[in-house]
Amino acid sequence: MQTGMTQDQTNIMSEARSMAHKAKTNPEFVQLMAEHGYDQASWGYFDELIATAAESAYIRAQAEATKLGGTDTLQQQRVGVWRLAQRLITICYVVFKGQTELLIRLGLHRSRRDGSDTSYRPKMTCDTPLETLIPWLRNLFAVAQTSPEIAAVLAKHGFPAAKLAESAAVLETLAEAHHTREQATINRTEACLKRNGAFNALAKWLRCAQRTQEDIEREERRTMANGPVLG
């Protein structure tokens, strides 16, 4: 199960909760710390730091789970869209063979940048980044739907208007899922930054308190070693 914390942060939280428990159950410890400036307000602030860090870790875990869930859904939809597109692409290359201008409009051929009259097939696959793939497929489906000379031929070869419209709708579902996943990635990053900030604040307070505790224990050992001072 995701905790939303790194291993170092898990250790910090464990140490912090241990000290907070000691502050609530050990009056002698509280008194000694109070003599070094750690009053009730200090312990109250410590509790707030722990609560904030714990909440930020929970939010980070939720953001990670959302991102992972969105990634799984996105991959399934990507595969489904590509299967539809691949079938359409194959049909277009067959029925429009030699009609380079139509293929260029569909995005299935591209003019070379060297100024020559030749063209080439774009190398698109299911794994092409969605930032590139989605606009390319939008153009493919849009041109296939809105160009009468193309739509009429496709309708005779297993891709009627209804099928094109369905494919375009599935593509938009993919685009929406991609947007959701991208937003989840942003949310995850923001949650990570807030969590790290909360744990940094907690760690600073904790380390200072631990040093104070070590100083107290060191002084107690020195006193015990030297024995009682005689008046």
16 pLDDT above the threshold of 90 = yes
Q: What are phi and psi of 71, to 5 degrees?
A: -65, -45
The pLDDT tens digits of the residues spanning 172-196 come to 999 999 998 899 899 999 999 999 9
Instruction: Give the global pTM.
Output: 0.71
pLDDT at 119: 57
pLDDT-derived band at 1 (thresholds 50, 70, 90) equals very low
Q: Which of 51-55, 73-77, 103-107 has the lowest mean pLDDT?
A: 73-77
Mean residue pLDDT of the chain comes to: 90
User: Domain map of the chain by residue range?
Assistant: 7-215
pLDDT level of residue 224 (50, 70, 90 thresholds):
confident
